[in-house]
Structure 1
Amino acid sequence: MPKITDQVSDSGIYLLEIIAPDDFYTAIKKYEGRKFPKGFYYYAGSAQKNLRKRIERHLKKSKNIYWHIDYITSRFDINKIFIFNNEGKDFECDLVAELLEHFGLISTAPGFGNSDCNRCDSHLLYSERQLDYNHFISRYHPIVRFIPSSSETF
């Protein structure tokens, strides 16, 4: 397996695929008492500098909780990471719109992970089924697909 640093530039957009095997609740006050259904969660994020470090941080189980997504990534494994090297911040929202329109994902947590965005309802999307990777990757060339191994899940 290639190392993250071999394929990732210093800036870009990423999409985390997280599998929740069971329904769950988070400790986020905004979503207190709200049940998140089991399934596949996709989180679109941006790092306009230090992209590698941001992804490595998401992979750590033990971390200070800072962002909404930390509540989920500290609990569930990241199954796959799609990386869009050198894409600007606007692409993050374009990606969310594309996932909603063409891939049938839905927003189930308004305001999740997009406090700095006035375009999107949420940057956390949900599906009962996993994305069709072939279709997804064919729409976005070049794309880096990173599958963390257990040794890379800190």
Structure 2
Amino acid sequence: DSKQSVIAFLRRDAAGKMLLVVCNFNPVLRQGYQMGVPNPGSYKEILNSDDKKYGGSGVTNGTVKAEKGEMHGFEQHISLTLPPLSTVYFQVPAARKPRAKKAVEAADAAAKPVKKTAAKAKKAAPAAETAVTASKRRGRPAKAKTPV
């Protein structure tokens, strides 16, 4: 956000855990700063350079819950208080693994009793023809197989 001198980025470790880092490079307190986030859930502030233990004013966020609503290419967003001239780190909640549509459909299909008509069963069965039936259909005599 170049107009407000704010930079935000995600960091991911080898295990796939993510951190959200937000930097406010202006000497202005930004309240209600909204930004899109990748996962639903609660974002816990784990480091804030404005914390009193680092000599700051003590403006912190604690834990912020993501709200539904598209923003910045994500399906949810959070609202933050960005202290002046600060950097805040948030632990990103783990992504919920949605059940795949095909997996749900397969589970539903397995739970239902299957009734096949003769026509459907014939269609579903592989077409296995012997040399004799194939040649009868074509009007030619069948070739005799010689024993090995």
- TM-score, normalised to structure 1's length? 0.30
Structure number with greater CO (CA < 8 Å, separation at least 6) is: 1
Structure having the higher strand fraction is 2
Structure having the higher helix fraction is 1
